[in-house]
Amino acid sequence: MTRALITGNAAAAWGGRLARMDYVPAFPITPQTEIIETIAKWTERGDIATRMVMYESEHSMITGAGAAAATGVRVFTATSSQGLLYGMEMLYTVAGWRAPFVLVNVSRGLASPITLEPDHNDIMAARDSGFLQIHCATCQEVVDSVLMAYRLGEDHRVRLPVIVNLDGFYLSFTREAVDLPSADAAAEFLPAFDPQGTEFRAGKPVSQAVAVLGGGTYSYFRYEQHLAAQAALPVYDEVAAEFNDRFGRLHPAIESYRAEDAEMVFVMMGSFATKAKDAVDRLREAGIAAGLLRPRLFRPFPRDAFRSALVGKKGVAVIDQNLSMGMGGVLHSELASALYGAPDAPRALTSFVGGLGGRDIAPAEFYEMAHATLRAAETGETPPPRLMYTHSELREMRKLQAAAHVERHEQDIA
Amino acid sequence: MYRIRFHGRGGQGMKTASRVLGSAFFHEGFEVQDAPRYGAERRGAPMNAYVRADRAPIYERGIILRPDLVIVADDTLVPIPAAGVLQGLDNRSVLLIDSATPEDEWRKRTNIGGPILVLPLPDTVDRSSLAMIGIACAGAAARLIGVISEDALEQAVRDELAPLGEAVVEKNIQAAMAGYAAMSDHAGTVSEGVPAAASGAGSPDWVDVPVEEVRLSGPAIHAGATSVEVRTGLWRTFRPVIHYDRCNHCNWVCSSFCPDNAISVAEDGRPVIDYDHCKGCMICVVQCPPHAIESVLEVEAAAAERRGSA
Ligand code: SF4
Ligand code: SF4
């Protein structure tokens, strides 16, 4: 094991390297490019025996990833944002092939307007694709999660591709101290990919991805995929326990920080959740029993674990770094559905949307969310969903709008 | 926790400087988080890089709002509001500037209350290499913080620059040590910031965003050619200067190759560079057949310009 300061992107590449990836189909996109640059450097120098191929788009890259995985080799690939969306058709398609591989997504907000900075709308768009999803909060988690993702997806009870998600900038370009498992330890944890006889070969062809007409056949295959995704919940717990035994780092389906005895709990995903930990510590110092639950596993959704962790709480504040237009935060909706009908469910389930396009979430905002949620629990009146947006941000916006219109005025005259 | 921000321009080695400081902390046994912050721009655009270091796990993320130390490697950034150099400085945060302008003058200009230090670098540091200034700043920062040994600093330079070869590493170690030595009278001036309590944090000042007409709320600028308004000339670290005595008005190779259309041809056939939009990529310098375009350090060119107009 070595301890090194590396970026989230480098950690993702190391995850693939320690998993002994055989094949890497690639296409560059900010802020993910450093991952494929790192792998390209290693293959070029002969450090790893991996075949890397540049594709002409994410659409064919994901097709290539699925096809290669179906031949029984271990596949690693990575994308971000618009690239993930460009490959979306094939994301759904290859998941149905039941050929496991790992796709790292480096979250970045979607157009329009265009941005390079992170939020989770890209990864939310892949929610129903059949890929399992693991969300990371630190660079350490990135390397660990890639290894765990292979174990999970390749398990014979699951056999689905897995997305490991990390936030652009806040993890992708940020260095943190990471314990890199030794190659031997990684190999012991993650043995060679066993395709269990489902691989195709030139001499042993398979007609992959057949067409079915008649809803009965279609429903069967689709539902099998869903059942496999659900089966991944207990498998994940096994994988996490074994990872902890071997490496001394526990990455549960839901990370719990001071939540057990908390009266109010923040629920959020991704790297900004570490900021919530800070807020929890400060709130505790101020006499407020706050805690944090952070789902690492988002698909399958750890519904029962959330129910048992949240029953009896006064209030829950869900922070979404995504926005489903016309509905609101996705995690909030999912949590509401998970908690509905639970005996002794939290009295208040508040919704906050923030961190869109990389916007910071300030400590004072966490404190206000805690207070508003406890007030709601007290009064029984839950406030409407709130976008974290300040007067000064709106004033800045007004200046930009004025400029956008003034110029037109000048042109009209000219 | 120590919170440190480096300000410079893309290409001035701020990312490397922050990483050297980060690695030095790491060698001293600290938990570290370091990252560059830049947008879609390229070389020469204002950028910053930050380092957090603590004995405990670091939960903070992203921009540093309340820095303990701000390092400015390019003093032309101080008056640019978008560069955010002075953001969050209070009476205990230290400002270190690499500048020919003295400290009391900076105090007048910035009106900040905390310690201001101008980095005095010996002639042994190659000032024509911008990256050297960055490394010297990292060395100076290490000494100001006071918990980083010379050994850790040297090891950090090796970690970050080893792929560039031993000669480069040695030169950078010298620059780092020069910065380190220059701050010996101020060792330990920078102290760790304490976390602000939840009770005194105040309200986040949220606003209910109103529903607005699409003409206002759609992401459009109601005019064409608005990119002209973006003074990309501010991103330059080097300036191309045409020597008209040597320019033979070839087929205006410079103008054809300029990726930013920043070289126009005047009526008399002379190529003219639009310095508001020349980003300083130096492609024209490389392409000009009779080598009539010279590359000049932007700070020097700007100083010469000021002298000329005074
Ligand atoms: S350096 Fe030369 S080629 Fe580059 S932007 Fe400026 S004028 Fe154009
Ligand atoms: S390329 Fe050189 S010689 Fe040709 S027009 Fe430009 S400056 Fe003059």
CATH number at residue B172: 3.40.920.10
Count how many Cα atoms sit within 13 Å of the Cα of residue A45 in the half-sphere of its side chain.
7
Distance CA B258, CA B310 (A): 31
Mean pLDDT is lowest, of A150-154, B47-51, B172-176, B197-201, for B197-201
Based on the domain organization, do B76 and B174 belong to the same domain? yes
A217, two tokens: 């056949």
B247 lines ligand 2 (CB under 6 A): yes
CB atoms within 10 A of CB B215: 12
Dmax over CA atoms of chain B, in Å, equals 71
Task: Please work out whether the CB of residue B296 comes within 6 Å of at least one atom of ligand 1.
Answer: no
Tokens 């310690």, residue located: B115
CATH class (in words) of the domain with range A254-392: alpha beta
The whole-model pTM stands at 0.91
Confidence (pLDDT) at A29? 95
Instruction: Answer whether residue B169 is part of any domain.
Output: yes
Contact A363 B198 (CB under 8 A): yes
Chain B closest CA to A311's CA: distance in Å? 26
* Partner-chain residue, chosen from A170, A403, A411, that has the shortest CB–CB distance to B62: A170
| Angstroms from B292 CA to nearest CA on chain A | 37
Range of the domain at B78: 2-186
User: Could you give the CA distance from residue A410 to residue A406 in angstroms, rounded to a whole number?
Assistant: 6
The domain ranges of chain A are 2-247, 254-392
- Among all residues of chain B, which has the CA nearest to that of A111? B219
How many other C-beta atoms can be found within 10 angstroms of the C-beta atom of residue A155? 19
Task: Give the pLDDT of residue A285.
Answer: 97
For ligand 2, is residue B286 a contact (CB within 6 Å)? no
The answer to the question of residue B144 being in a domain is yes
Per the structure block, which two tokens stand in for A201?
């070969």
Checking if the pLDDT of A241 tops 90, the result is yes
Q: Tell me the pLDDT of chain A averaged across its residues.
A: 95
At CA A375, angle to CA A369 and CA A378, rounded to 5?
Answer: 145
* Residue A353 neighbours by CB under 8 Å, 6+ apart: A319, A320, A321, A322, A323, A328, A329, A385, A386, A387, A388
B19 vs B244: CA distance, rounded Å: 43
Q: Is the dihedral of CA A166, A169, A175, A176 positive or negative?
A: negative
Judge contact between A305 and A234, C-beta under 8 A: no
CATH topology for the A2-247 domain:
Rossmann fold (3.40.50)
Handedness of CA B169, B175, B178, B180 (dihedral sign): negative
Closest approach of A378 to chain B, Cα-based (Å) = 20
Q: Tell me how many helices (H) and strands (E) chain A has.
A: 14, 15
CB B145 within 8 A of CB B193: no
- For B70-130, what is the HEC assignment? EEECCHHHCCCHHHCCCCCCCCCCEEEECCCCCHHHHHHHHCCCCCEEECCCCCCCCCCCH
Say how many residues make up chain B.
310
CB contact under 8 A, A282 and B206: no
Res. A411: pLDDT tops 70:
no
Q: What is the pLDDT of residues A371-400, one digit of tens each?
A: 999 999 999 999 999 999 999 999 999 999
Domain assignment present for residue B232? The answer is yes
Is position B196 within any domain? no
Tokens of B105: 């003058």
Nearest partner of B240 among B290, B182, B301, judged by Cα: B301
Minimum CA–CA partner of B52 in chain A: A176
According to DSSP, residue A170 is labeled T
Query: Domain check: are B239 and B159 in the same one?
Result: no
Instruction: Name residue B238's amino acid.
Output: F
Identify each DSSP E strand in chain B by its residue range: 2-9, 31-37, 46-54, 69-72, 94-97, 116-118, 238-242, 263-265, 271-273, 293-297
A34-48, B8-22, B115-129, B240-254, range with greatest mean pLDDT:
A34-48
d(CA B43, CA B266): 28
Residues belonging to chain A: 414
Residues B48 and B159 in one domain: yes
What is the distance between the alpha carbons of residues A179 and A138, in angstroms, rounded to a whole number?
A: 12
Show residues of chain A in contact with B216, CB under 8 Å: 401
Closest alpha carbon to A292 in A252, A322, A262: A262
User: Is it the case that residue B251 has pLDDT exceeding 90?
Assistant: no
Closest by CA to A311, choosing from A373, A260, A254, is: A260
Arithmetic mean of pLDDT, B250-270: 92
pLDDT at A201: 85
Name the residue in chain B with its Cα closest to that of A406.
B222
The answer to whether B56 contacts chain A (CB < 8 Å) is no
Note which residues in 96-115 of chain A have CB less than 8 A from chain B.
Answer: 112-113
DSSP-assigned beta bridge partners for residue B6? B49, B71
Structure-block tokens of residue B216: 């206002």
- Are residue B245 and residue B281 in the same domain, yes or no? yes
Contact present, B9 and B46 (Cβ < 8 Å): yes
pLDDT above 70 for B42:
no
Q: Is the pLDDT of residue B171 over 70?
A: yes
Per CATH, A2-247 and A254-392 having the same topology is answered: yes
The amino acid at A328: G
pLDDT digits (tens, 9 = 90+) for A257-305: 999 999 999 999 999 999 999 999 999 999 999 999 999 999 999 999 9
pLDDT at A369: 98
Task: Please tell me if the CB atom of residue B248 comes closer than 6 angstroms to any atom of ligand 2.
Answer: yes
Q: Enumerate residues 250 to 309 of chain A having a beta carbon within 8 A of any beta carbon in chain B.
A: 271-272, 274-275, 277-279, 281-283, 285-286, 288
Going by the DSSP 8-state scheme, the letter that residue A348 receives in this structure is E
Most confident of A88-97, B44-53, B81-90: A88-97
B37 in contact with chain A, both atoms CB, cutoff 8 A: yes
HSE-up (13 A, CA, CB side) for residue A379:
8
Q: Are residues B182 and B218 in the same domain?
A: no
Q: Distance from the CA of B232 to the center of ligand 1, in angstroms? A: 11
Instruction: Round to whole Å and give the CA distance between B31 and A178.
Output: 10
Whether residue A352 lies within 8 A of chain B, CB to CB, comes out as no
Cβ-count burial A361-396 (b if 16+ within 10 Å, e if not):
bbbbbbbbbbbbbbebbeeeebeebbbbbbeeeeee
Q: How confident is the model at residue A413 (pLDDT cuts 50, 70, 90)?
A: very low
The helix/strand/coil state of B263 is: strand
CA of B245 to the centre of ligand 2 (A): 11
Listed in sequence order, the residues at least 6 apart from B166 whose beta carbon sits closer than 8 Å to its beta carbon are none
Sign of CA dihedral B288, B292, B297, B303: negative
Report the range of poorest mean pLDDT among A238-247, A331-340, B189-198.
Answer: B189-198
Instruction: Point out the ligand 1 atom lying closest to the alpha carbon of residue B261.
Output: 8
Number of structural domains (chain B) is: 2
A369: closest chain B residue by CA = B204
The Cβ-side half-sphere exposure at A248, using a 13 Å CA radius, reads 4
In angstroms, the separation between the Cα of residue B107 and the nearest Cα of chain A is: 28
The CATH number of whichever domain residue B276 belongs to comes to: 3.30.70.20
Would the CB of B239 count as within 6 Å of ligand 1?
Answer: no
Query: At residue A408, does pLDDT exceed 60?
Result: no
Residue B50 contacts residue B18 (beta carbons within 8 Å): yes
Q: Which of A33, A115, A174, A266 to mutate to test the interface with B (most CBs of B within 10 A)?
A: A174
Using the mean position of ligand 1's atoms as its centre, give its distance from the Cα of residue B283 in Å: 6
Specify the pLDDT at position A405.
82
Collect all residues of chain A within an 8 Å Cβ-Cβ radius of residue B209. 387, 389, 394
Asked whether B179 and B117 are in contact (CB, 8 A), the reply is no
Cα dihedral B53→B55→B59→B64 (10° resolution): -30
Residues B129 and B168 in one domain: yes
Cβ-contact A156, A235 below 8 angstroms: no
Give me the pLDDT at residue B82, please: 83
Q: Assign A235 to helix, strand or coil.
A: helix
Check whether residue B87 and residue B172 sit in a common domain.
yes
Is residue B261 a part of any domain in this protein?
A: yes
Domain-embedded: residue B50: yes
Rounded Cα gap, residues A199 and A101, in angstroms = 13
Q: Is B125 in the pocket of ligand 1 (CB under 6 A)?
A: no
Instruction: Tell me if A47 sits within 8 A of A77, measured CB to CB.
Output: no
pLDDT of residue B81: 85
Identify all chain A residues contacting B37, using CB atoms and an 8 Å cutoff. 169
